[in-house]
Amino acid sequence: MILNHPDLWISSLPQPSADGHKYNRGHTVIFGAPELTGATRLAAESCARMGAGLVTVIGGDKADIYRATLPAHILVRDQALPDMSKVTACLMGSGGMPAQIPQIPDNIPVIRDAEAITPGTIFSPQTILTPHDGEFARAFPHITGTRAEKAMAAAKMTGAVMVYKGAQTVIAHPDGRAVVNDCPVPYLATAGSGDVLAGMMTGLAAQGMKPFESALAGVYIHAHMAKNQGAGLVASDLLGLIPGFLRSLGL
C-alpha cells in the first residue's frame, strides 16, 4: 500500500496568482446544517483558510444564526444560489442535511460528509465521500475485508473518491488507486475534527485541485497539524494552524 506523502500531491497544490481575484481562487457553496450549526461553521472556516476565494453558506431557516456566528468574510444566504455557474465546489452533510439541495452540475466537485453519504447511490467522479467507521457500515453494510479492501470496493461501487477515516485513513479512487495516511493521531478523536477536514478538502477542490489529490493533501495536512499540536487539541484549534502549515509547504 502506498503511503501518503507530499510528493504525491505537492505539485498540484493550488498556488494563488499575484494578479488574481477571488473567483480565480474558487467559490465554494456549503449547505448549512439545520441543527448542528457548529459543524457547518468549522467546515466553512477551514475551507476559507485553505484558500478558497469565496465561501457561501446556504443557511435556510438558520441563516440568521450563521450570520451572527460566522466571520465577516464568509457569505450567508437564506436559499440556494439561482446561478451555480461560478461555483467551483460544494460541501454537504457536515452537521446534518438541509431539507432541500438543488441540482448540482456533474462537473462541480462535491464533498459529501456524514448524512450526505447515501447508500446505494452512484456518484459523479468529481465526488469525495468521507465516512468514518460507523458511517461506512451504515452506507456499505455488505462490504467486508481489510480497511483498504473496503475503501477500494466502495470507491469502485460508487464511482467516487473514498476517504475512509480512521487512525490509518485510506483514500481510494474508483480506478483502483489507493493510498493510506499512516499518521495515527489520538487528539483528532474530538467533535468537529471531521468537519474541519471536509472543509479543507473542499477548499482545495474549489481552487481546481483534482478530488483525489485534494483528499490526499487534506488528510495529510489535517493529521500532521494535529500531531504537531498535541494534547489538548480541539477542532477549532485546527483552523488557526492551517496558515502556518501551508507556509511550511511553500505557499
Q: And the C-alpha cell for 19?
A: 494578479
Which carries the bigger pLDDT value, residue 21 or residue 115?
115
Whole-number pLDDT of residue 23: 74
Banded model confidence at residue 232, pLDDT cuts 50, 70, 90:
very high
What is the residue-wise DSSP string for 72-108? TTEEEESS--S--TT--EEEEBTTB--S------TTS
Contact (CB, 8 A) for 148 and 1? yes
Banded model confidence at residue 227, pLDDT cuts 50, 70, 90:
very high
User: With 90 as the cut, is the pLDDT of residue 42 above it?
Assistant: yes
CA quadruple 121, 126, 92, 64: dihedral, nearest 10: -140
Banded model confidence at residue 20, pLDDT cuts 50, 70, 90:
confident
Banded model confidence at residue 163, pLDDT cuts 50, 70, 90:
very high
Q: State how far the Cα of 91 lies from the Cα of 98, in Å rounded to an integer.
A: 12
Contact (CB, 8 A) for 141 and 120? no
**pLDDT tens column, 101-120:** 888 988 999 999 999 999 99
The residue-averaged pLDDT of 7-23 equals 87
Banded model confidence at residue 24, pLDDT cuts 50, 70, 90:
confident
User: With 80 as the cut, is the pLDDT of residue 193 above it?
Assistant: yes
- Which residues, including other chains, have CB under 8 Å from residue 94's CB and lie 6 or more apart? 30, 33, 39, 40, 42, 43, 113, 114, 194, 195, 198, 199
Domain boundaries, the chain: 23-242
Whole-number pLDDT of residue 222: 98
**pLDDT tens column, 121-135:** 999 989 999 999 999
Distances (CA, A) of 108 to 38, 95, 193: 25, 22, 24
Q: Hey, is 27 helix, strand or coil?
A: strand
Contact (CB, 8 A) for 133 and 143? no
Q: State how far the Cα of 30 lies from the Cα of 148, in Å rounded to an integer.
A: 29
Whole-number pLDDT of residue 67: 97
Angle, alpha carbons 5-52-249 (nearest 5°) = 30
The residue-averaged pLDDT of 152-158 equals 98
Question: Which pTM value belongs to this model?
Answer: 0.96
Banded model confidence at residue 31, pLDDT cuts 50, 70, 90:
very high
Q: What is 23-242's CATH superfamily?
A: Ribokinase (3.40.1190.20)
User: With 90 as the cut, is the pLDDT of residue 27 above it?
Assistant: yes
* Mean of all residue pLDDT scores within the chain: 95
